Amino acid sequence: MKLAKSRWSLLAIVALSFSTSAAPAKKMPSHSMMLIGGGVDVCSTSQQSSCQANVEWPTSFRKGTLHQLDDRYIELIAQDEIWKGGREQVGSQVQAMLKFLKPKLADKTVSERELTRLWRSSDVEAEGVWVSGRELYSALTEGEKNLILDQLEVLQAQSNGKRIEEFVNFNATQNEYSKQLYQQFVALATEVTKKPKPTVLVVTASGRDPYASVDFYLDLFKQVGAEPIWFPVNSAYQAAQNQADPVAACADFLNILRKEQGTYQRGRIYPDLILKQKEFCTAGHKSAVGQLKRADAVFFSGGDQSLLLKALKNKDGTDTPELAQLRQMYERGEIIIGGTSAGTAVMAGGNYQGSSSVMISGGTSIDAILNGAKPLTPELIGCAANNNCGAGIAEDTLTYQPQGGLGLFSYGVLDTHFSERGRQGRLWRLLLDSGSRFGFGIDENTALLVSLRYKGEQLLSSFTVAGEGGVYVAEVTSETNKVDNNFAGLMTHYFTQDDQFSIVQGQILTEFAPWKYAQGDSQQLMVNSADLFSTDTYRTMTNLFCTSQSPQAVGRFAADGQDYQVTVRRAKGSASRQGVYNLGSTKRSYCSYRNFSIQLNIAP
């Protein structure tokens, strides 16, 4: 494979795989998509650790979730169909535990943490058998825990009955990079609007509880200078639209929500938002598409990408009317798309130069290397959390959706929370097993910015990195080979603040930030690291390697009683650049690189 050149012209950029009928009538924005790797810390009443000192809040604000042991809802928990099919005994034990705990709490409202701590420290007799609270709680599936906590949650309301909301204090946010990312997103939206303030639609469909983060994002974008509107498209909404009588289905929305997303009692906790949800549902596709046409940007929150996929794709894989409209506007430069965490991962799809771009849905690096990647259907995504997986599937299994996600980013796999959670191994294995050519791992508090340009009717793109961390790119080349769990010749790159790159005819062309420089050649030490996929160990190792002239770096990890070794080497055409970036009062050192080759084998 021909290796990339070190410099490139911004005019030399690659064609995306989707087609368009005509070039847009107006100038394209500087960036059309912002893909954030999650972990963006903004000062709010639910994230006060992200705030500067001495922040003042309104006299009343939402304090996370609060729970109360009410006989009515204990009975609803006991009667729920979730306990049918072999879980009846567990259901009886749960009912006994809740009745045992009720007099201890009386009418007191407690946080989820307080409730679960009391539960786990208690023992109870159920049907003549003593049950450990710790063991019982650990035996619950995620779906069963959600049922219990949702049913016991209480409305937090003011004296007049109005729901208490969560609040943001954007200016008091400690992390300058977090502030910069949201400011940049709104600034991009101003490039496509004719209004004094850009209209930003907020999509919270990735959340199992799609209402929990609505207050946060509406207040956040308002303070950053936008006119935010909640856009309540979600899997339950699409399910209602697909019914024979959508209007009747929308009137029964809470039951559909429970079936589609395993969410209970949201009408009691968010009465105002459920009213808006039902109105949106009743108005249907035509109204939703109209809202998109009037918007300048759409932002997708984090959660579970499989839920977001169901919110915007039909069961047969075709676009819903909302996604079709969004795709058209995006390709014409009429709207900015942003996402964080699951809202980023779901963007992958389509194919690039004959290689499909799959959507990752779960897994860890260690399990991925040992057992490979499993293509799961949409119905099975998330099965590990609910104890209904097929044979050979466990909680840590690397899973993916072969048909991809929304298909708005066609170059390859998108992974998030990347370096912080040691996800390099799972990205390597997913590329090797799925046939995808490229993989993009985006660190927390970091964004991959996608720029679109037209050459005639051909849509072209380039990429820029912004934020606290970096974007890790892995690629399968003609020199990549794999035998069992061992492989060699996988090429990797790591781009940080202000770096730009593109993919032209299968080659990555890079332009490092002009304020970064080539390091000296005085260091010749070999870099070594153990427990390679523990938190950000891999990034720490390669950063030391990047800033040195060492010939290789070696990392190790143990899995299933066997020691493995990962060797990172400078391949032909490799280069690295480092520098210090100043953002407000924050100074951060970066080191970027291209063409570091990876080999994995059993340790000698």
| Strands of the sheet with 359-362, listed across from one edge | 359-362, 398-401, 373-375
CA separation for the pair 472, 428 (Å, rounded):
11
Give the residue among 378, 493, 484 at the shortest CA–CA distance from 433. Answer: 484
Assign 3-class secondary structure to 489-515: EEEEEEEECCCEEEEECCEEEEECCCC
Question: Length of the chain in residues, anyone?
Answer: 604
Among the listed residues 415, 417, 443, 498, the single catalytic one is 417
- As a whole number of angstroms, the distance between CA 208 and CA 382 comes to 11
Based on the residue annotation, tell me whether 367 is a catalytic residue of this protein.
yes
Q: Which of 41, 367, 415, 443 is catalytic?
A: 367
Q: What angle do CA 181, 185, 186 make, to 5 degrees?
A: 120
Q: List Cβ neighbours of 464 (8 Å cut-off, separation of 6 or more).
A: 31, 448, 449, 451, 498, 499, 500
Cβ contact 305:361 at 8 Å:
yes
| 107 catalytic per annotation | no
3-class SS of residue 486: strand
513 contacts 497 by C-beta, under 8 angstroms: yes
Provide the residue type at 16 as one letter. L
Q: Considering 301, 306, 341, 550, which one is annotated as catalytic? A: 341
Report H helices in 529-584: 537-546
Q: How far apart are CA 6 and CA 157, in angstroms?
A: 59
Strands 359-362 and 552-559: unpaired
CB 198 within 8 A of CB 296: yes
The sign of the dihedral angle between the CA atoms of 444, 57, 163, 143 is: positive
- Residue 558 three-state SS: strand
Three-state SS sequence of 280-314 = HHHHHHHHHHHHHHCCCEEEECCCCHHHHHHHHEC
For residue 603, what are the contacts with CB-CB under 8 A and spacing of at least 6? Answer: 556, 563, 564, 565
* Residue 269 burial (C-beta neighbours within 10 Å; 0-12, 13-18, 19+): buried
Contacts of 335 (CB under 8 A, 6+ apart): 32, 192, 292, 295, 296, 297, 298, 326, 329
Active site residue 417: yes
Q: Return d(Cα 3, Cα 508) in angstroms, integer.
A: 8
Assigned token pair, 467: 């934020």
Point out the residues that are catalytic.
341, 367, 417
